[in-house]
Chains A and B, each alone.
Chain A
């Protein structure tokens, strides 16, 4: 091959290599930046909506049933809390449906949302019918309809809401993994190293062939490559670190706490369901003990793993103690005393103890979510301007190497 032909081949190679590297790097940056953005702006809020929807539904059922069990003088605060829970669940459902719009690939998520959309009005209808009967003085009929409402909640709505939460949590994990994943970043850096070595080799060959110390065009291209690669690697490292920190210190403990809150809601629901279950033979003691063992505090439990054994542990233990009393009363068929203990508004009642635990968990979840958002936003910000910078660098690399080689080629004409 003649020397001019070699110059032409080098020129085409560096032109193609620079533009190809620029394209792959830009795509990788945009992919990671988009995933990081989705984590902060889409997946985490949807996961939060799913969690909020579950908790609102569970709380609505407990609130409605508890108010019902307290007797004909249902407190206004309970009615307002029930209405607020239903409104919040509906708002979360609406947000989740908006987030799932067009996402036909997740049929289980869509099915879960459809189940809740269809089932929520049925539930509120039964509650309204129960309250009407109760207000008219037919407390037993109202009670049986409240039981039917609770069955709708426990058999249809809450399982579907749990499924939706699991799907959204999986989506958040997948987006986080995409944002922090290494494969394409590694490809981009390896490509940069290969192109850099090629530039160095070309520079050396040119120095020997033309007796010039450096080729200015290739030097500029090398500088652009090094600068953009360093920026890119630093941005990836910072984003990965921030997003992993967001997961480690934010979403992971928040997820554990959300599971703890859902478990606590389930146990509280069991307590109240037990009170309106007067016709059967199904004690919830075993269920409650299983949830208690999962919730903690204690080695391997949700509260301990989430680092909340000290903060929420005492409230959990106090609530368990009240529960033990309630189940002792239940096994002795002391329903009236059990009802007072479980639904009463006193500071030593189950409702107050549960509220304390729920409040502790809520505050901890909020703190973890703030930590998550702060770190995840920093991770997303690390990609700021990077895509444009990589494009400019790639164009500069292509132009500079073409210019440098074209000047040497011109000497042969």
Chain B
């Protein structure tokens, strides 16, 4: 697990170390007032807040850090793509100010560390991509939980398997061997994907189950990759690959020549992860979202909804390491769910903004950071 140093310091210029990306563009002097609605962090000292975790959220956090820094020159945000598991662990251990996770905190994490909060920042989705040569341009293969579970279990070994053909009438499928690719690190994407398989295919639920890590069935050609970027490149390099990849990597996946699957939802519809299908799915969960915003939105009731959607969570402590850090974290998170949720930021990574009622819940949770 990569560890990210936390410090409050005078600006020391650009810093780069390993996976840590420093997004401090300038070192201008003086405090700044935030835009309307965003509390200003009045401080003469610069504050560095660290974020680590979800590789899915990583591209957006980079853009956010930059945009937020322009409005708050005295706050520097560092980010690192280490995987959701590392994000949760970092926030729990206090080695990171913000842990980014595609999955909400487990009851175990919360019981052992009641000072943690999971605060949704944006709505995300997960695509299932494939590298199947010879398919006509614009083809989006139809897949469902049962077929995917059997592909990942090794009982469907070729792309022209009758089960796949039955889902895709009229599509000529090649006999290319199926190569299931999964994440090697503790990953929120794995949690979401295996949740979808568990909900839709009882045999998967009663064997591997779901989690940020699972005991993957032994499949001869299966491969494992660390992080979403490696999932894209690994799948692109492997004929016959099928892989689950976060929506923020859709452009990269398409650019790499991967196909994007339509997934079956509980209503039996096959849908792509578009803005409309993601929003439809999330809308069906808004009223059920509890105050701590822990909720699974996989395989929801929306007839036209995409079945694998989730909140991207910031995992934070209610007692930050310092008052200044607490103010900076609150300002950053509030900015992320308001100004940072404009199309300028979310469009390129295909995330969706939180519904208004969920923004209210997130704001209430953010207000608890550093509260007496």
Contacts and interface: CB of A to CB of B under 8 A. Distances in A.
A277 B205 contact: no
Given A143-B296, A145-B295, A279 B290 contact: no
Given A278-B209, A279-B211, A281-B85, A141 B300 contact: yes
Nearest to A276: B107
Interface string B270-307: 00000000000000010010101011111111000000
Contacts of A138: 266, 299-301
B199 A155 contact: no
A139 B195 CA distance: 10
What's the dominant secondary structure at chain A's contact region? helix
Given A143-B296, A148-B290, A151-B110, A280 B88 contact: yes
Interface stretch (B25-33, B158-166, B212-220, B222-230): B212-220
Contact of A281 (B88, B199, B206, B294): B88
Interface in A133-147: 133, 136-141, 143-145, 147
Interface stretch (A12-20, A332-340, A353-361, A363-371): A332-340
A283 to B, nearest CB: 7
B104 A279 contact: yes
Contact of A335 (B92, B113, B214): B214
Greatest chain A CB density within 10 A among B92, B186, B290 is at: B290
Contacts of B288: 129, 133, 141, 145
Nearest to A129: B288
A140 B108 contact: no
A126 B210 CA distance: 22
Contacts of A137: 266
Interface string A313-330: 000000000000000000
Contacts of B205: 336
Contact of B107 (A136, A139, A154, A335): A154
14 contacts: A137-B266, A139-B199, A141-B296, A141-B298, A278-B212, A279-B104, A279-B211, A279-B212, A280-B105, A281-B89, A281-B186, A282-B92, A282-B106, A332-B215
Given A145-B290, A279-B103, A281-B212, 6 more contacts: A140-B199, A140-B298, A144-B294, A151-B110, A151-B292, A277-B107
Interface of A: 126, 129, 133, 136-141, 143-145, 147-148, 150-151, 154-155, 273-274, 276-284, 287, 332-336, 339
Interface of B: 85, 88-89, 92, 101, 103-114, 186, 188, 191, 195, 198-199, 205-215, 266, 285, 288, 290, 292, 294-301
